Amino acid sequence: MSKSKLEYIWLDGYKPTQNMRSKTKVEDNFSGKLEDCPTWSFDGSSTKQASGGASDCLLKPVAIYPDPARENGYLVMTEVLNADGTPHETNGRATIEDDDNDFWFGFEQEYFIMDKDTQLPLGFPIGGYPGPQGMYYCSVGGRHTHGRSFVEEHADLCIAAGLNFEGINQEVASGQWEYQLFAKGAKKAGDEIWVSRYLLDRLTEQYGYYIEYHPKPVKGDWNGSGMHANFSNTVLRTCGSQETYEKICEAFRPVVDEHMAVYGEFNDERLTGLHETAHVSDFSYGISDRGASIRIPIITVEKGWKGWLEDRRPASNGDPYKIAGRIIKTVKSANIS
């Protein structure tokens, strides 16, 4: 008889920023298939998702990946359900209106690697600052590059887990990095970002690090951390019309507040109008404009207005489920088919 470790991962009820939780279920002779992952329960009163008098919440498996760090192990992404089987109020995934996977998302996850002892980003001296940003972005060499072995190991774990991992690069501040994931289907894109974050956070336990997802953890003249959302649907991928692109972009203008509400806590500290950002209360779009709210990639224009858009406003600590869900709702409101 063989035994497999299934790591059930879910999002808790903390507001406005949910945290990942996980626990291990051991199964005999497990097939490795999602349909054979049983629904499980947990104590919701310990995660701000239930009261002590009726504490059971359910974990519904929605995606499964091999666990690259465990023999016969699997990573199981789950949705939280109420005891009666309905989606819990904290379940952002269940609100996504993309059952046909028409929407494709590519998220660019930025983050800072923090030293657990100094509680500073890698490369930051105690009591001071490293050299100003400029030499860190995509740098090579030990003077300006910090954490590469950790970042490479995380990339290897994501690839081994079967995530559609597309790249890594050092960002503009010391100890700041980015990776990219792409998926056809909004729910799948969210699943893969959360599992990649799980692997990232778990890996820090071996290094004496922790990950800081705060969009502006270092005050001063430094870029913050975002999670740019590249998105398309059939219309954007095939329309061939500048007018259609502009109409879709304009649909975002009257709902800035609704987007900011789910784009991440403390995002106003990052979206100041400086450091390649639009101001949190403004809305703009432009071709190849990294200071706009939504950037129209130059390759989209060169291909005859067939491609995708990039919403540059989501913060690094945002929930990809809620971000994707809000973007889909706004694009659909443009009523273009």
Please list, in sequence order, all residues whose beta carbon lies within 8 angstroms of the beta carbon of residue 23, skipping any fewer than 6 positions away: 7, 8, 42
AA identity, residue 220: G
Question: So what's the pLDDT on residue 310?
Answer: 98
Rounded to an integer, what distance in angstroms lies between the CA atom of residue 4 and that of residue 76? 12
Please list, in sequence order, all residues whose beta carbon lies within 8 angstroms of the beta carbon of residue 114, skipping any fewer than 6 positions away: 120, 121, 122, 175, 209, 210, 211, 212, 217
Question: So what's the pLDDT on residue 12?
Answer: 98
Q: What is the torsion angle, in degrees rounded to the nearest 10, for the CA atoms of residue 113, residue 269, residue 324 and residue 241?
A: -120
pLDDT digits (tens, 9 = 90+) for 152-209: 999 999 999 999 999 999 999 999 999 999 999 999 999 999 999 999 999 999 999 9
pTM over 0.85: yes
pLDDT digits (tens, 9 = 90+) for 233-279: 999 999 999 999 999 999 999 999 999 999 999 999 999 877 678 88
Query: Which tokens in the block code for residue 153?
Result: 């190991």
Rounded to an integer, what distance in angstroms lies between the CA atom of residue 17 and that of residue 107? 18
* pLDDT over threshold 90, residue 126: no
Q: Looking at the DSSP assignment, which residues form a beta bridge with residue 79?
A: 60
Confidence of residue 129 (pLDDT cuts 50, 70, 90): confident
- Domains of the chain, first to last: 3-91 (3.10.20.70), 104-333 (3.30.590.10)
Rounded to an integer, what distance in angstroms lies between the CA atom of residue 79 and that of residue 191? 10
* pLDDT over threshold 80, residue 1: no
